[in-house]
Structures are given as C-alpha cells and as structure tokens.
Amino acid sequence: MKYLVIIPTYNEAMNIEKLIEKVLKQSNDIDVLVVDDNSPDGTANIVEKIMEKNKRVNLLKREKKSGLGRAYVTGFKWALQKGVYDYIFEMDADFSHDPDELYLFFQAITEGYDVVCGSRYIEGLRVLNWDLKRLFLSLGGNIYARIITGVKLTDLTGGYNCYSKKVLSTINLDKISSNGYSFQIEMKAKSYYKGFKIKEVPITFRDRYEGTTKMSGGIINEALFKCFKIRFEKWFGKY
C-alpha cells in the first residue's frame, strides 16, 4: 500500500519542515506533496531544500494564492497521474492535524473503507485552544451542513481526511467548485452520494501555534451557499 499526504501551504515557513519530518516518520510507505501558492515567506524554498535530500517529498508551485480547494484538486490530479498512490490524505500545514494520528486512518483503511474522515465531534469534543466563538461557528456550521446536504457525518468541514484512488478517480474533480470549508463538505457529500464506504475516526484538533490564519468571512459565506448547491446537484443527478 502506498500513501500520499497532500499539504497545501500559504505562508507556512515556520511549520513545514518539522511537519514533513513528522509525517514521513509514521511509515516508509508515505510520500508527501506540498502544494504552495507562491508563499511570500519562502515556504517553497524550504521544501525544495528538503527535496534535494529526500525523494519522498514533492512540490507543486502555483503562481498565486487561489484557495485551499483548488490546491487540493491540483494535488489529487497529480496523485492520480502518478498512479502509484492507493490512498491520498489531506492535512493542514499548521499542526492542527497531528501526524501521530495517521495510524487511526491506516486502521480504517485496513477495515476496507474508501474514505476516512477525521472528526473532532465524535466520541466527545476534541478541539484545543479555540475560543468559544470559533467552536460554536464550527459546531453550528456542521449542523447546518448536515441538514442541508443530508450527509450523516459529524464533521463535514474538517480537513484531515483520506480518499482512496478509486474515489478520486470516480468523482469528477473538474466539477468541484468550492474552495474554502465547503470544499471539504463537497468532497465528503459527493463520496457519500456515490455510495462509498466512509468512516469517521476521532481526531484531536489544535489551533495553530505558528503563522497566521487564512480564514475569512468569504469562506463562511461560500459554505452557507454551497451546501444548497451540493444538495440541488444531487437532486438533479449532477454529482
């Protein structure tokens, strides 16, 4: 089994080296792909230096900041083109997603699941260092997304996930239109509507220690609207 961990980056120079090291340590079968949007802080230069010494690390450089969703779609297509990766992971660069929890995903893969989603909201509530406003926004957003899309998962907006090669080649990636949190909702909903086996595993989410947030009101508005679009597309069979 071969795994690819895709890490989208925008100004993650303070995190990326340590994170890559920690991810690669988890298994010899893991490669890493960083998708960087020309970060002004030189994140890509750091990755290029690591690549000189380590063939398991790859980099896609895009010209300008174009959002997390587009970065992942580019990474997914790269993985499918390579053809060697059985499971493709999504992970934030800021240590909010703990590489030490990758084993939870590996266990679910062994059980035969096509999609494994890290959830902050099963078996308790595991979000560290968030203020109450952020927590309620996330919890409320998840309830809203679950009602509108009809997808019975506890953490639709979470970004620590893994898709099999089969899932990514079945979903029409060119039709994924979301970019922010709704990108995660759209990917999970499309996998769910297509009947793939999805398992949620309990992860612990930590707010970033280093670097700055890219969260914005625009991302929230996109998610509010996109949930309806995702559901309508399902009704009209266009997913």
Ligand X SMILES: Nc1nc2c(ncn2[C@@H]2O[C@H](COP(=O)(O)OP(=O)(O)OP(=O)(O)O)[C@@H](O)[C@H]2O)c(=O)[nH]1
Q: Please tell me the distance from the alpha carbon of residue 90 to that of residue 68, in angstroms, as a whole number.
A: 10
Residue 215 binds: one of ligand X, Mg ion, none (C-beta under 5 to 8 A by kind): ligand X
Which of these ranges, 5-13, 98-106, 115-123, 190-198, lies near ligand X under the rule CB under 6 A?
A: 5-13
Length of the chain: 239
Q: Which is nearer to Mg ion, 34 or 109 (CB)?
A: 34
Indicate whether 208 belongs to the interface with ligand X (CB under 6 A).
Answer: yes
Which residue has 């709704």 as its token pair? 182
Q: Which is nearer to ligand X, 93 or 203 (CB)?
A: 93
Q: Tell me the sheet residues that pair with 90.
A: 6, 161
Query: What track of x and - describes contact with Mg ion for positions 67 through 106 (by CB under 5 A)?
Result: -------------------------x-x-x----------
Which of these ranges, 100-108, 186-194, 208-216, 226-234, lies near ligand X under the rule CB under 6 A?
A: 208-216
Query: What burial class does residue 224 get, using C-beta atoms within 10 Å of its C-beta: 0-12 exposed, 13-18 middle, 19+ buried?
Result: middle
235, two tokens: 């009704």
Site for Mg ion in 187-216 (CB under 5 A): 208
**Rg (alpha carbons) of the chain, rounded to whole number:** 17
Q: Residues 222, 189, 86, 97: what is their CA dihedral angle, to the nearest 10 degrees?
A: 50
Indicate whether 67 belongs to the interface with ligand X (CB under 6 A).
Answer: yes
Residues that bind ligand X (CB under 6 A): 8-10, 12, 35-37, 65-68, 71, 92-94, 96, 208, 213-215
